[in-house]
Structure 1
């Protein structure tokens, strides 16, 4: 997930703005800027669907104890990561054919301009709808559904555990298992909430632009579109931070990495 989010930063932030602010570079070659246009949605979709896959993994680990031993393995994780990554890039390949060159210089096509057929072809329209359905409409639905089922399961198990404790006259003692499940609920609410909140402005702007084109409404302001776009980019890293920072093993390894230079320095001094 961290690697996928880092690729989003490279493609959707660095390369996009390099093309805009440093004109007439190798990035303006038609083949190169078309490839960048493929990488931008591909990396974003890969990041989004890896979040969905990880959410499903947590759902299985918490709610499906019998299936957990078979599914929650390193081999399954590698297969899921590879499949999601490959499918994300294959799905975005048609964007490469969206552009044509503005002019040819020394037998090399330069700059990317949208083909006129893109605005009139029913196939491009259907592909655009399909692409928006895959990112982020279906991921939002899956994340909400899985988190709802997980939270429901945790609440049911917690109530049963409280009844058992009450019957055993131990209701006043602390329960580490219930505290752990309570933290899991907070984590799931944070994940689903951040994902939906940060993607909602982007989807609202996209829908308004489509409706405005059909009915001749005034276009959306550039400021609103920019803010929605920035929030959408922010969503690619929030889930990774939430998932990793709250993990005890990750915090311990992070502390080890931060202490490593000082530890080696003290070791050298002692030697």
Structure 2
């Protein structure tokens, strides 16, 4: 065997050892931080609009479900497979798969919808009053949830109902006649195109359009203020726009950075179906899983960094047992 093969194998062994610590630690932090974010946001004292609050609560709830059904009930049993062999005899895997993939779709598409909402709020002044409302937010979030569930219901019929403790995207046993069929190939390709490839492209596009609009608007506003006697150097509208932009870019940037490895691996591996195989080391997929799951645990910290009132609510919550 070649030297490069042994190097890749050793890297994979190291990553596997790291996962035995990384996944339990991530679960230990991921569940409480998302629950804390939900509780703080639901109180409605962070100075955010109802519309934004609904999106952030939905994103935190979806992330929490991904942590439970993907990290705790999938990746940790795979990592500690010797201790979780009982899973092989549990007839729940196809149900688990439907919930897991629906939750993942919701987590990703809620981020897209939030990005679009902020794009409208910042760049489309005429549409903002009609679109950026709690009623519209509820309708969009409900529609995305229903569509995600319907999109993934077919996994129930594509899998055996027993687990297969192998660290691959498909953790349930697949009947041989299904895995070799053209139907499976099409469904698998469409699954990865719809989530997360299309959301990835949409977020990049919406952010690019938002940046271009903000730069143009700020230049025009500076020219107007520059010819207005007594105009304040710290314009309130520009300050508000800047705060919205910072939170939007950090949240969407976090998604892009932490999902890019998983997306690249998922798309390149599917080139095999087209007759253009792109060999990738197995450890790339493992790193993709690790970063993807990390993205479900970071939004609370983003809110704390970008939102002063969120930090105050978080501090009050921490100090309450002490000052009581």
Q: Same fold (TM over 0.5)?
A: yes
Task: Give the counterpart of 1:3 among 49, 55, 61.
Answer: 61
Aligned residues: CA RMSD: 2.8
CA distance in 1, matches of 2:118, 2:161: 46
Task: Give the counterpart of 2:151 among 91, 94, 97.
Answer: 91
Unaligned runs of 5+ in 1: 103-110, 265-271
What is residue 71 of structure 1 aligned with on the other side? Answer: 131
What is residue 233 of structure 1 aligned with on the other side? Answer: 293
Tell whether the 8 Å contact from 2:192 to 2:267 is kept in structure 1 after alignment: no
CA distance in 1, matches of 2:191, 2:75: 23
CA distance in 1, matches of 2:278, 2:172: 27
Secondary structure of 2:173's aligned partner: strand
What is residue 246 of structure 1 aligned with on the other side? Answer: 306
Structure 1 residues 114 and 181, CA, compared in 2 at 3 Å: closer, same or farther? same
Structure 1 residues 75 and 263, CA, compared in 2 at 3 Å: closer, same or farther? farther
CA distance in 2, matches of 1:97, 1:219: 30
Flag the structure with more relative contact order, 1 or 2, with Cα contacts below 8 A and sequence separation at least 6. 2
1:165 and 2:219 correspond = no
- Which one is further off, 215-224 or 241-250? 215-224
Q: Offset of 1:83 from its aligned partner?
A: 1.5
CA distance in 1, matches of 2:61, 2:161: 32
Structure 1 residues 149 and 131, CA, compared in 2 at 3 Å: closer, same or farther? same
What is residue 268 of structure 1 aligned with on the other side? Answer: none
CA distance in 2, matches of 1:65, 1:112: 48
Q: Offset of 1:24 from its aligned partner?
A: 4.4
CA distance in 2, matches of 1:237, 1:262: 26
Question: Which protein has the larger Cα radius of gyration, Structure 1 or Structure 2?
Answer: 1
1:136 and 2:196 correspond = yes
What is residue 322 of structure 2 aligned with on the other side? Answer: 262
CA distance in 1, matches of 2:70, 2:85: 19
CA distance in 1, matches of 2:299, 2:232: 35
TM-score of the two chains, using structure 1 as the length reference: 0.81
Q: How does 1:24-173 map to 2 (within 5 A)?
A: 24-25=85-86, 27-29=87-89, 31-100=91-160, 112-168=172-228, 173=233
Q: Offset of 1:101 from its aligned partner?
A: 6.0
Q: Offset of 1:232 from its aligned partner?
A: 1.7
TM-score of the two chains, using structure 2 as the length reference: 0.69
Q: Offset of 1:235 from its aligned partner?
A: 2.5
CA distance in 1, matches of 2:304, 2:142: 21
Q: Offset of 1:32 from its aligned partner?
A: 0.5
Q: Offset of 1:18 from its aligned partner?
A: 5.3
Secondary structure of 2:108's aligned partner: helix
CA distance in 2, matches of 1:238, 1:7: 14
What is residue 12 of structure 1 aligned with on the other side? Answer: 70
Unaligned runs of 5+ in 2: 1-58, 163-170
Q: Offset of 1:212 from its aligned partner?
A: 5.0
CA distance in 2, matches of 1:234, 1:188: 18
Q: Offset of 1:183 from its aligned partner?
A: 4.2
Tell whether the 8 Å contact from 2:60 to 2:299 is kept in structure 1 after alignment: no
Tell whether the 8 Å contact from 2:94 to 2:155 is kept in structure 1 after alignment: yes
